[in-house]
């Protein structure tokens, strides 16, 4: 009976050490990497627009014909209005929020599922490893885009922003899982893992204490890449008309602008706004990913410090 509290205390200590290492990595990368700082600032501005500014919208920007149609950018309408009578600025803030929610939900689910399954498979080995890899390979060979289109059509009546993120996460975890397994198998041959085994640490103890600190920088890079994949996947579904067309996302904005031939009718602000925003999201996450990648490479890290 005395073993249970002790195991709980050890687990809390390991998780606390992991959080401390994550904070150290974040501060170290922020201090040493200019691309990381620039990307974080751009992403922060977009999050302020999507999460903060959108809350102050004077009306529901998803509703049609609540403002004058086809108005160019002006003091009254900073980004103009659409043919559907929507204020592009407020519609854009809602679209940023929903697209980021889809990306973050996909990353939280898929990146962590891939990380956990890959670490367990690589650390445990044997039958469990083979079972997990067979399951992973089964998802790898499934064509992602056609299956996403099929699921989006079948679930159209119950589709929501969180559900869209969960559906995209189904196809976002297999490759990270295989990559994590390969890295864990490489780490498993090092001397400190043998020391942990002789010290009495089990599989989960080695996963949290030994493998996770080495994999954390890679995991952060994979997390940002998963957000990119989710936002681009939703935009692709929206452009072909199988996303949540009643909601406001960056992809849905592009869909309606193309559907009404906005660019050919001179309503350039309707199409340019979501396109430029998607580019900014991609650039910001790429710079954040680059900063973390440079930190995880010892040679580049010392060059930056030098």
What pLDDT is recorded for position 11? 55
What stretches in the chain show pLDDT beneath 70? 1-25, 191-194, 196-205, 208-209, 296-306
What pLDDT is recorded for position 180? 87
What pLDDT is recorded for position 262? 87
CA–CA separation, 120 vs 133, rounded Å?
Answer: 11
What pLDDT is recorded for position 4? 42
Coil, strand, or helix at residue 63?
A: coil
CA distances from residue 39 to 215, 232, 276 in whole angstroms, order as listed: 22, 18, 15
pTM for the complete prediction? 0.83
Q: Catalogue all structural domains in the chain, each as residue range(s) with its CATH number.
A: 26-53+77-305 (1.10.3720.10)
CB half-sphere exposure, 270, CA atoms < 13 A:
27
What pLDDT is recorded for position 155? 87
The whole-angstrom distance between residue 25's C-alpha and the CA centroid of its chain comes to 19
Q: How many residues does the chain have?
A: 306
* Token pair recorded at residue 95: 């679209």
């Amino acid at each position: 009976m005395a073993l249970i509290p002790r195991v709980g205390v050890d687990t809390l200590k390991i998780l606390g050490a992991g959080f401390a290492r994550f904070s150290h990595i974040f501060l170290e990368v922020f201090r040493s990497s200019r691309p990381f700082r620039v990307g974080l600032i751009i992403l922060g501005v977009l999050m302020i627009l999507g999460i903060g500014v959108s809350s102050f919208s004077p009306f529901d920007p998803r509703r049609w014909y609540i403002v004058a149609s086809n108005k160019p950018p002006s003091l009254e309408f900073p980004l103009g209005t659409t043919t559907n009578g929507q204020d592009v600025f407020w519609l854009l803030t809602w679209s940023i929020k929903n697209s980021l929610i889809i990306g973050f939900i996909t990353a939280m689910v898929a990146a962590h599922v891939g990380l956990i399954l890959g670490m367990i498979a690589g650390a445990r080995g044997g039958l469990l490893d083979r079972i997990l890899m067979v399951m992973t390979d089964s998802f790898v060979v499934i064509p992602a885009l056609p299956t996403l289109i099929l699921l989006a059509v079948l679930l159209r009546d119950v589709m929501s922003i969180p559900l869209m993120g969960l559906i995209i996460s189904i196809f976002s975890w297999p490759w990270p899982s295989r990559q994590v397994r390969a890295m864990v198998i490489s780490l498993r041959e090092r001397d400190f893992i043998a020391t942990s085994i002789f010290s009495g640490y089990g599989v989960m103890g080695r996963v949290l204490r030994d493998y996770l600190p080495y994999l954390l920088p890679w995991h952060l890079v994979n997390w940002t890449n998963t957000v990119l994949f989710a936002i681009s996947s939703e935009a692709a579904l929206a452009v072909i008309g199988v996303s949540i067309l009643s909601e406001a996302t960056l992809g849905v904005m592009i869909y309606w602008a193309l559907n009404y031939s906005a660019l050919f009718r001179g309503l350039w602000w309707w199409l340019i706004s979501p396109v430029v925003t998607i580019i900014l999201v991609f650039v910001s996450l790429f710079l954040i990913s680059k900063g973390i990648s440079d930190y995880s490479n010892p040679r580049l890290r010392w060059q930056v410090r030098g």
